[in-house]
Structure 1
Amino acid sequence: MRDRQPARGERRALEFEAFVAGAAGRLLHAATLLTAEVPDANPRARRLLTLALAHTYARWDRLRGEDPYDCARQYLATRFTHTTWHPHGAFGHARTGPRGPLAGLTPRERLVLVLRIYEGVAEEQTAALLGLPAERVHTICERATATVLHPARTASAVRAPAKAAPS
Structure 2
Amino acid sequence: MEFEEYVSARGQELVRLGFTVSGDYQRAEDLAQIALMQAFRSWRKVRNVDDPHHYVRRILVNEFLSMTRRRSYSEAPTAEIDPQGAVPDHATDIANSDDLWRALATLSARERVVLVLRYYQDLDDQTIADVLGIKPSSVRATASRALASLRESKKTNRIDERLS
**TM-score when scaled to structure 1?**
0.65
Please report how far the alpha carbon of residue 136 of structure 1 lies from its aligned counterpart in structure 2 after TM superposition.
2.8
1:119 has 2:103 as partner: no
Shift of 1:36: 2.0
Among the aligned pairs, what percent are the same residue?
Answer: 28
Q: State the Cα RMSD in Å.
A: 3.1
1:44 maps to what in 2?
27
Mapped contact 2:118–2:124 kept (Cα < 8 A)? yes
- Distance (whole Å) between structure 2 residues aligned to residue 129 and residue 110 of structure 1: 14
For residue 103 of structure 2, give the secondary structure of its aligned residue in structure 1: coil
Q: Deviations over 1:75-134 (max 9, x none)?
A: 0011111111x24353x4446683754342222221001222222333133234434442
- Cα deviations across residues 7-56 of structure 1 (Å, max 9, x unaligned)? xxxxx8xx21111111011111111010023xxxx111110010001111
- Number of the residue aligned with 1:73: 57
Cα separation, partners in 2 of 1:96 and 1:45, compared to 1, 3 Å? closer
Superposed CA deviations along residues 111-161 of structure 1, whole A, max 9, x for unmatched, are 0012222223331332344344422311322444566689625xxxxxxxx
- Contact 2:31–2:60 (Cα < 8 Å) also in 1: yes
SS in 2 for 1:104: helix
- Give the alignment's TM-score, normalised by structure 2: 0.66
Alignment gaps of 5+ in structure 2:
82-95, 156-164
Gaps of at least 5 residues in structure 1 are: 1-11, 154-167
Evaluate the alpha carbon distance shift between residue 20 and residue 97 of structure 1 in structure 2; reply closer, same or farther with a 3 A threshold.
Answer: closer
Other-structure match for 1:141 = 143
Amino acid at match of 1:137: V
Match of 1:23 in 2: 10
Classify 1:80/1:43 alpha carbon distance in 2 versus 1 (closer, same or farther; 3 Å): same
Pick from 43, 53, 69 the counterpart of residue 36 of structure 2.
53
* Number of residue equivalences: 135
Q: Distance in 1 between matches of 2:22 and 2:148?
A: 19
SS state of the match for residue 152, structure 1? helix
